[in-house]
Structure 1
Amino acid sequence: MQKIFRSNISARPGVSIYDLRSLAQNEPVEFVSKIEAGVNDGHFKLSEMRDLRSLYHALADVSVPITIEVAGAQRAITASAFPILTGTLAIAAINEAYNAVPAIGGQLVTEMEDSKKITTIAAVHTLDKNIDEVKETEDFPEIGTDEEKVEIRHKRNGRKLTISAESIEENEIADIVTRINALGEIAGEWVEEQTLERVTDYCGSRSTPIEPYVYRPGGTGTQLYNS
């Protein structure tokens, strides 16, 4: 990150608050691009910020353009450079803490992006499993779905972090970083716990089964393992 901004009043080693403000004012698109690049390559981290108060006063009144997703569509808006910078740094810190949690769950399951409360997955296979050879003059059998469907039910969970104006004015960066790291660690540990419980059908395959079942063919909770 040392080569991105010239040093003046230091926000962190090699980063000048003065130059950050100048870049955001004069080249707002470049400001957003360089911040994202510095965060992505690990050269710009929230834990290395020295003066959050000065950074706020330098960037709070400067607007920069960003693109956000709203209802599945991209929207271009302008926002204060301060939350854009600190938000990008905070998200990177949360992800780093999340990825640092020791886990094996990801090796046991296939991850899928989904925002539904209940996801229905249909079985996909050849409609005729008994054919092991197709003659030269015959058509290949169709691959499709049948009536077999399995539901996956999701749990809504999360945590919220409030950063007060007072904590910024008093430059409580260490406390802010600690709480941000805790968000990533909590999420990583929770996902690992839920993954292992679902792989083992911890609730549904007990001697006395209880909700939530991990296996729900046709929407009906069913034991995955029988002793």
Structure 2
Amino acid sequence: MTENFDELAAAWPRILDGIWITLGLTGGGAALAMIVAVTLGLMARQPNVLVRGTARTIIEFFRGTSLVVQIMWLFYVLPLLGVDLDAMVVGILALGLNYGAYSAEVVRGSINSVQSGQWEASTALSMSSFHRMRRIIFPQAWALMIPSLTNLLIHLLKGSAIVSFIAIQDLTFHVDQLRLDTSTWFAYGLVGLGIYFIIAYILTLVMNTLEVRAKHRLGRGESLREMLSLKPPRTTAGTGEPA
């Protein structure tokens, strides 16, 4: 066992490089996925059949085809068409488009879940469609969609391991290299599993923080400072329930 930890210490600089690459893929893919999700989610709600149909086609295409095939197509087929992309860009594109398609349904469903009274009130105030969405509807939908987006973000993190197919030396690649020098159990069962869990847990905490902040801004919960304080939660007079 001591030999395994010695090998880990020797391989740690390479594993750390792999962690940064995995984080870059996750962050870049998540940012692109959010842009794709909001764009397609809003397009899928449009009354125009052409706009709505285009959004549905893109969503179903990327949800209905394998992420492995998508990343291989971007890396191996696009150069044949004269478009040669860096492997890291290909990884971010594949992750962003694939998970963006899934997230688009979350965006669309969350917007549709906003109470009809909010839509009617903003219409009565003669707000433009853009301002109604930006000031009234989307902030409420954002609080609703965060839990589902958190799940997809964790899936994206784990899905980033697929980039090893196109020779990107991410965390999984270096863990597999460690396996050659140690036991399979140590490399995958302890090092790989542990690092991915820690990253996923940190991302979950970040997303939970965003959810608390979003709900507080809508007046539906405690602020982050109140939640982290040692003081007992505020209660509504006469009920004993949290305010």
- Output the TM-score relative to the length of structure 2: 0.25
| Larger proportion of strand | 1
| Larger proportion of helix | 2
With a CA cutoff of 8 Å and minimum separation of 6, indicate the structure with the bigger relative contact order: 2
- Output the TM-score relative to the length of structure 1: 0.26
